[in-house]
Structure 1
């Protein structure tokens, strides 16, 4: 005698497991693609050389902090200018250095200018009319009386 066979029930578990693996692989592929498209530039091209000079920089920062009066950096938005003024203790000395305008969000906007304050008090003014609006870091490195000084100031233009 032949017994009737009942129709076999199909389970969806194998298909669900395969679909889960395919979706997971697709998600990982998408994340790898996004990571590869992201621009990850170092803040500066000579990062390692700057790190080696770290101790000298810290000594310059300490020397700047020990001045009798601070180096004044003032931004006047109405006049679109930055004024840098040295303390009176450095006014009689020959001062030479550089001003490094550093844009953390875009390395292409970074630039350097000479720092040569003149007059009494020793002061230098710079126009900011051509600077892109946003956060800037101004790094002032100068030498006066054979001593190196360093100051970093954040400016919002």
Structure 2
């Protein structure tokens, strides 16, 4: 009788251990291929000269603080007249002011351009926007009065 019992246990076969090993191998292969594709992905979240920009950040913050202390620049878009008006505060009256106006288009860097700051006697400048594409623009004003630098920025939507 002992021989009959041994023959029955030898004929019994199960696929579960092989199925579990195969599932683990497939899972490990999937994870390995995912890691391989992720490592080959080109990520451009940081500029190439990030370190230099980080060092200049404190200077920029000082410039913004100086601008806020002197009074904010009014950058107003007038849809009816298709114009942008820049108006420097009264604290800049009688000072020799020079600078640049940068138009930045976040969605298409090919549309970015720069204009010189040419203020009237009342410290204002009128800019025509008829040729600008409709959409979101950032108007950045970098200017200096004497030896001090100033910066102002406003987001506008051209209609």
TM range (shorter): 0.7 to 0.9
Which of the pair has more CA radius of gyration? 2
Residue in 1 that maps onto 2:61: 58
For 1:9, the equivalent position in structure 2 comes to 13
**TM-score where L is the length of structure 2:** 0.71
Write the distance in 2 (CA, Å) between the matches of 1:33 and 1:72: 49
Which consecutive unaligned segments of at least 5 residues does structure 2 have?
none
Offset at residue 129 of structure 1 (A):
4.0
Greater helix share, structure number: 2
Q: CA RMSD in A?
A: 3.1
Aligned counterpart in structure 1 of residue 29 of structure 2, from 19, 25, 28: 25
Does the 8 Å contact 2:72/2:152 carry over to 1?
A: no
Note the residue ranges of structure 1 that are not aligned, 5 or more in a row. none
Shift, 1:64, TM fit:
0.9
Normalised TM-score (structure 1): 0.72
Trace 1:99-118 onto structure 2 (pairs within 5 A).
99-104=101-106, 107-118=109-120
| Secondary structure, aligned partner of 1:18 | helix
Deviation by residue 1:98-129 (Cα, 9 ceiling, x = unmatched):
22333445555544332222242422424164
Tell me the number of residue pairs that the alignment of Structure 1 and Structure 2 aligns: 154
